[in-house]
Each structure stands twice: as structure tokens, then as C-alpha cells.
């Protein structure tokens, strides 16, 4: 199993509102997952992100307030969907339906 961070609440996305070069980090980073587990405040998370990605990393933090950890199987293929800030996971269950 692996853990994925998403923001399920409406208002602001987490990885979906970030630059593509940061998406993998925002979805899977073990340090961020630990911060989410203990419900760390936004300022602490910002400091952690800057320490890992550098000062130029400009991550919108609006989704952090509603962050959730979702467990998925190691070999599950999925994509993060977003509607009005609410993120979800769409799984690639049937290879024939995906092009």
C-alpha cells in the first residue's frame, strides 16, 4: 500500500493547483504525509516544503486545511481529479476504457 495526499473539500485543490513539477512531491512525500497525520499547521508545512524544494517553490496552501490521506495499492494506476477545488482519485480499472 502507498499513501496519497488529496484535498477532498471544495475551495482549493492540493496537487491539482500546483505546478506539474511539484505534483509527485505533493502527492507522495513521506514528510508531508507525516505532517498531515499530525495535522500540522500551514506555516510548518510551508517551511517543510521550502526546505525540500527551495525558496522558489510557490505552493498554494489553501488545500492543506482539508488534506486527507488515501491508501491505494502499490500497483494501482490512478489520476487525481478536481472539481471546484475538491480532489478525488479516479482509478484505471479497465484497460480497455483508457486510451
Examine residue 68 and state whether it is found in any structural domain, yes or no.
Answer: yes
The percent of residues in the chain predicted with pLDDT above 90, rounded, is 64
Work out how many domains the chain is built from and give that number: 1
The residue assigned the cell 488515501 is 70
- Is residue 54 a part of any domain in this protein? yes
pLDDT at 99 over 90: no
| pLDDT tens digits along 12-61 | 889 999 998 999 999 999 999 999 999 999 999 999 999 999 998 889 89
Residue 84 included in any domain:
no
The answer to whether position 13 is within a domain reads yes
Domain residue limits at 21: 2-77
Q: If you write DSSP's letter for every residue of 39-72 in order, what string do you get?
A: T--HHHHHHHHHHHH-TT-----GGGGGEEEEEE
pLDDT reading at 98 higher than 60: no
In the predicted model, what is the mean pLDDT of the chain?
Answer: 90
What's the confidence (pLDDT) of residue 85? 85
The model carries a pTM of: 0.86
Amino acid at each position: 500500500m502507498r499513501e496519497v495526499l488529496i484535498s477532498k473539500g471544495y475551495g482549493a485543490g492540493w496537487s491539482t493547483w500546483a505546478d506539474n513539477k511539484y505534483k509527485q512531491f505533493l502527492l507522495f512525500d513521506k514528510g508531508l504525509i507525516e505532517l498531515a497525520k499530525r495535522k500540522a499547521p500551514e506555516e510548518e508545512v510551508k517551511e517543510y516544503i521550502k526546505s525540500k524544494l527551495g525558496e522558489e517553490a510557490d505552493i498554494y496552501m489553501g488545500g492543506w486545511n482539508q488534506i486527507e490521506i488515501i491508501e491505494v495499492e502499490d500497483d494501482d494506476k490512478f489520476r487525481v481529479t478536481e472539481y471546484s477545488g475538491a480532489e478525488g482519485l479516479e482509478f484505471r480499472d479497465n484497460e480497455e476504457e483508457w486510451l
